[in-house]
Amino acid sequence: MAWELILWFIFFIINIALLALNLYQIICLSDLESDYLNPYELASRINAVVLPEFILQGVFSVLFLLKGHWFMFLLTVPITYYHTMLYMNRKHLIDVTEVFSVLSSQKKYRIIKLGFYLFFFTIVIVRIFAAGILFFNRSEFGELDIRSSVLEF
């Protein structure tokens, strides 16, 4: 049961990293919109973090699959598939010459991903607490029988 808690902490760390990378990209796009960055700086900054984000999302999805959390895995599959298709079609990098024409669509895409990662953040937090409660109840009182504790009430 301790492995379950450790695994949820790993999911938490990966999710925090995904949130940070995505928020960094949104801030960079907003800075370009406000004319604090030039297009070359924006493209180099965002292109440097796109591949690590795709790899982390893939690890996030594969860990759910390997652990047997099928529902969570099925929730992560669409964005992992979309990242894979972007990478295979070589459309995952921002082009310096076309940055202003795709600025609003790139910003919307990343805001949607931010909402997706925030949704997973809340789920992971709840699951950490649930795994922690089960772990500490079992370690304190031996094996916890849920059926007998429900029947007592």
Predicted confidence at residue 1, as pLDDT, reads 57
Instruction: Answer yes or no: are the C-beta atoms of 110 and 33 closer than 8 Å.
Output: no
For residue 151, the model assigns a pLDDT of: 42
Mean pLDDT by 10 residues, the chain (153 residues): 86 96 96 92 95 95 92 94 95 90 93 96 94 78 50 43
Report d(CA 149, CA 153) in Å as an integer: 7
Angle, in degrees to the nearest 10, between helices 2-33 and 103-141: 160
| Closest by CA position to 79, among listed 22, 140, 29 | 22
Domain layout of the chain by residue ranges: 2-152
Question: For residue 142, what pLDDT is reported?
Answer: 52
d(CA 97, CA 129): 47
What's the alpha-carbon Rg for the chain, to the nearest Å? Answer: 20
Of all residues in the chain, the percent with pLDDT exceeding 70 is 90
pTM: 0.85
